[in-house]
Structure 1
């Protein structure tokens, strides 16, 4: 895992992830990654999931899930958390 990836601090990674989100064609207003965890070799992103008042998923929830999945695939190949 770490032999092929660069170390990066959590805040720097979130900054890069949010830049990717804002430039992506599927960006929705308010979509932002606010957290990231290292789970083995995978970076798992979290943030607002746009749930309805009853806590159920909305159409936007799927878009956010797909964006976080995209970030995990893209950035896990490049980085691992150093902190």
Structure 2
């Protein structure tokens, strides 16, 4: 799966990593629902850090279509809330 982190670029994530990312996505959703800015920021950074850790960075000149777009690390709760789908940021 090709994932774009807005403002950073694209990474390729293996299907074996999706469950871990979904767990972090669920924690992020809960933080958004609680409205706690500190917890939200922590969970957003944890999700993005994990994507960077498990993903293989694609070259900047790569033109692969992104299957998933994640917000930048400095996104607000409201911005991320607007990006949420029925199953969070990461489907599955």
Higher strand share: 1
TM-score normalised to structure 1 length: 0.36
Higher helix share: 2
TM-score normalised to structure 2 length: 0.34
Q: Which of 1 and 2 has greater Rg? A: 1
